[in-house]
Amino acid sequence: MAITDQIEQLVESSIETLGYELVGVEYIQGGPDPILRIYIDAEQGIGIEDCERVSHQVSGILDVEEPIRSAYLLEISSPGFDRPLFKARDFERFKGAEAKISMKLPVNGRRNFKGILDGFSDGDILIEVDGEVYALPLAKLAKARLVA
C-alpha cells in the first residue's frame, strides 16, 4: 500500500470528525526534508485557523502511528483554485471543468493531457482533448489538477 493511502486511512475519520473533507494526500520527496501535504476542504472554505486545527489533530496521529519514519514537513492546505484531483469522485464531481493530467506511463503515446473532464468510468478518468475522449487509468495517474 502506498504511503499516501496509509496516511489517508489513518487521518480521514479524524479530519471528518472536525467537520472537514479530506481532499487528498501528497508525499513529495527530494530536497532536504520530504513534504507531507494534506489537502482539506469545507463548504465555507478553508482558513489558516482550519489548517492549524487539522494540523494539531493529524500531528498527534502521525506521531503515534509513524507511517513515515524519517523527518518530514507537514503541510495542511486548502485545495485552492487549481485544485488537485485524487479520487474517482473528484473526476465525477468536476465533470465539465478544464484539467491538466500527467500519467506515470504513456497512454496512446503521451503522458500529459489538458482538456475537459468527462467523468469517470470503469477505473478510468475520462478527458476530452481536442475533440477526442481519452480513458486514463486512475491507477497510473501521476498528477491531476483543475486549470484555474
Considering the entire predicted model, what is its pTM? 0.89
Return the CATH fold of 88-146. Answer: SH3 type barrels. (2.30.30)
Domain with CATH 2.30.30.100 in the chain: 88-146
For residue 115, list its beta bridge partners.
Answer: 99
> Tell me, what DSSP letter sits at residue 84?
B
Cα pseudo-dihedral 121, 80, 142, 9, rounded to 10? -80
pLDDT of 30 reads 83
Q: Which 3 state secondary structure label does DSSP give 114?
A: strand
User: In degrees rounded to 5, what are phi and psi of residue 92?
Assistant: -75, -45
Host H or E run for residue 107: strand 98-107
Render pLDDT for 30-61 as a digit per residue (tens, 0 to 9): 888 999 999 999 999 999 999 999 999 999 99
pLDDT of 124 reads 98
**Spans in the chain with pLDDT lower than 50:** none
Class of domain 3-77: alpha beta
CA distance 133 to 125: 10
Domain with CATH 3.30.300.70 in the chain: 3-77
Q: Hey, what's the cell of 1? A: 500500500
